[in-house]
Structure 1
């Protein structure tokens, strides 16, 4: 009897605590899986901060980390849709390299002969040509997969080899440089950042959008008679979102231009050089803004448009989607076309950041892109995945890579860690799906 009383007494607070936590997550509707990824990311950051002697969690490294993540983050938004439909794209790294080389040749060799050097339209024409090339490559692969019934694994594995070889053939293996000055803005750096004032403006606008989105969702739920979140949960989500946004802006504004760049800027603009130096904040990098816009657009496509619903319907049950009248083959073609466009955008950012187009661009990016999508909760079995989760997965992958470089981990060991993380992510996805049944 005593044992029974003790057991009941000790389990009571635990049950109440578990019930409180459960009610909190139900009220706020926070995705626990996404929250787990955030927790894992914080553990990685704190761990590397101690391993690197305090170098990781600094404004400089976090700013560079955000810029370095952009390529994979952009491509992984498209990889989510590819994997959701039970396909795979192993050619994204090679497509990035080919599109980057085409854009490099356009602005360094072709356009100067047609419209002259330093033409204001060079960057725009280059970007359009690169995006068109990516769309054509993706569409070509999608047509083979959809209408010739060749498995996507084989088609894109062939594409990995073909497009990488085509990259070399464009210039016979030569590196193309330099890039157009306006085009380089997409790569970040001192000229490719918007500064402190505009960063705060962007942050405030983002907070207003968050508040407006939550209020609109509440009105829509009331309109259609759906259950609403408690008012305190709405306030909590607004405060949490705004703190995270403004905190990221503060970190970006805490990283200043190097003294030599600041001095040249002061001389060019006739600004007196103070004895203490001139602190000019970088602010948000342009490639980070581009990535955020791509993420918002891809989220809208996948959750608000009919095309997005078709994608998830095909992933959930291809036969049922076909019987429901969905043109599954053309949806597949559009998915791979979209994937090619995203690879071209990522290639433009990569080329702008390097100020050159090289044959090595995009090498192994297919591994990191797929790993980011899987880590972000996209199931290889199809039918499940989120754009936000995949982009967070890209940040996790880049954090691992950047942290290991700062910690002076050997390159072979870095590959071992990345491979192990991918396997563990797939295993966790299998466990999660098994428990969800």
Structure 2
């Protein structure tokens, strides 16, 4: 089958007028805003690496950075859809804290003491997770109902939620910390036990590379089928190699971070393994919370780009009045967006609680700032109608990189908050400039 080449001479003439960089970007169809964010992330990483005397870009710190970013990244995927519909959710941090407390109380107090399930029962973590997800879904539905059907501005509803759910988290246990969590539940927090090891990490990485290649092939076939312009073959190959290299590089970094010596010693003793003279190297591999964040990103991306619901979300953000006149039930779609946000906040609560091995009242404090900043930095416009899940997840990594780097340099917490707030304002300002240029 021959490729579509309508207006080829005219397009060739126009392409020749462009510079080499512009021609490259046009051929590969790379998002310039995404490239700018990747460039900013690399600059931040190199800056912190130099200032920390080579401590930032190490397998240990990068592995920890990926785990620390997971909770915010999961919520950022949902925040994209919320902001795209011209709404905002200021309650996600408090909701995380409240749901985390519900999960903690369920598995550490309610099930053992009231139901009589013994600690270590294989169903405890499932019931605790299900209870948290149900609570998050109901809270999201409640807030969505108030916003969509009672026409209360989302800023007011979620600002109230920020206060209500933070207070509710304290009220559940009168301010007491709940610990420890179920051993299986803790796997969602990472650590030596909460990682999949070197072998499975390579399997996951190779499967991801194959999926990328199949997606590129499928996309090209779809373009041929509907007679859309095709990317040059070299651009397709370049994109496949680039993405696969990033994936395999991330797996290599994860596998380069070994278990702590004490954990290796206990593992060797428990399994009658003789530790060689040079020590026993056991890789962490990819952490479970990172896999959860990637899964959330893939699912929400599919929802946003491949489903009728996703098309309705962007239609509402682009022009709410036109969407309603077109027959879209805008109120029900808005309510479902907040239900999805509540569900994703619950998954983040599970990751955070498992990682801390405790439920505390301070859990999720100021996470709403990080989540909103991640979405905006990732290219989601506060004017609505524009946003990408991948950009928001990259924004989450960027925000966490700032925090992690400042902690590594010993920067005080108040100054960290100043920097994060400044970055958020700059991101919104850049978004405003970008939209003006696009008009």
SS at match of 1:360: coil
1:299 maps to which residue? 301
Describe the superposition over 1:336-359 as per-residue Cα deviations: whole angstroms up to 9, x where unpaired: 010000000000000000000000
1:424 & 1:273 partners in 2: Cα distance? 52
1:112 & 1:225 partners in 2: Cα distance? 62
1:331 & 1:17 partners in 2: Cα distance? 45
1:232 aligns with 2:248: no
2:410 & 2:121 partners in 1: Cα distance? 43
1:404 & 1:116 partners in 2: Cα distance? 43
SS at match of 2:282: coil
1:168 & 1:411 partners in 2: Cα distance? 23
How many residue pairs end up in the alignment?
423
Alignment match of 1:190 (pick from 185, 189, 192):
192
User: Where do 1:383-422 residues align within 5 Å?
Assistant: 383-422=385-424
Describe the superposition over 1:16-72 as per-residue Cα deviations: whole angstroms up to 9, x where unpaired: 896211111111111111000000000000000011111000000000000000011
User: Where do 1:1-400 residues align within 5 Å?
Assistant: 19-113=19-113, 114=115, 115-400=117-402
Q: Gaps (5+ residues) in structure 2?
A: 1-14
Describe the superposition over 1:134-159 as per-residue Cα deviations: whole angstroms up to 9, x where unpaired: 00001000001111111000000000
1:291 & 1:419 partners in 2: Cα distance? 24
SS at match of 2:128: helix
2:399 & 2:27 partners in 1: Cα distance? 31
> By how many angstroms is 1:186 displaced?
0.3
Q: Which TM-score applies when normalising by structure 2?
A: 0.95
With 19-28 and 325-334 compared, the bigger mean Cα shift is at 19-28
With 111-120 and 378-387 compared, the bigger mean Cα shift is at 111-120
2:17 & 2:54 partners in 1: Cα distance? 36
Describe the superposition over 1:211-251 as per-residue Cα deviations: whole angstroms up to 9, x where unpaired: 00000111111111111111100110111011100000000
Q: Following TM superposition, where does structure 1 have runs of at least 4 consecutive aligned residues deviating by more than 6 angstroms?
A: none
SS at match of 1:315: helix
Describe the superposition over 1:382-404 as per-residue Cα deviations: whole angstroms up to 9, x where unpaired: 01000000000000000000001
1:236 & 1:109 partners in 2: Cα distance? 54
1:390 & 1:359 partners in 2: Cα distance? 27
1:187 & 1:102 partners in 2: Cα distance? 17
1:369 & 1:268 partners in 2: Cα distance? 41
Q: Gaps (5+ residues) in structure 1?
A: 1-14
RMSD across aligned C-alpha pairs, in angstroms? 1.0
1:416 & 1:166 partners in 2: Cα distance? 28
2:186 & 2:433 partners in 1: Cα distance? 44
1:282 & 1:407 partners in 2: Cα distance? 25
> By how many angstroms is 1:410 displaced?
1.7
1:4 maps to which residue? none
Describe the superposition over 1:308-361 as per-residue Cα deviations: whole angstroms up to 9, x where unpaired: 000000000000000000000001110001000000000000000000000000
SS at match of 2:430: helix
> By how many angstroms is 1:116 displaced?
2.1
1:8 maps to which residue? none
Describe the superposition over 1:361-390 as per-residue Cα deviations: whole angstroms up to 9, x where unpaired: 000000010011000000000010000000
SS at match of 1:425: helix
SS at match of 2:99: helix
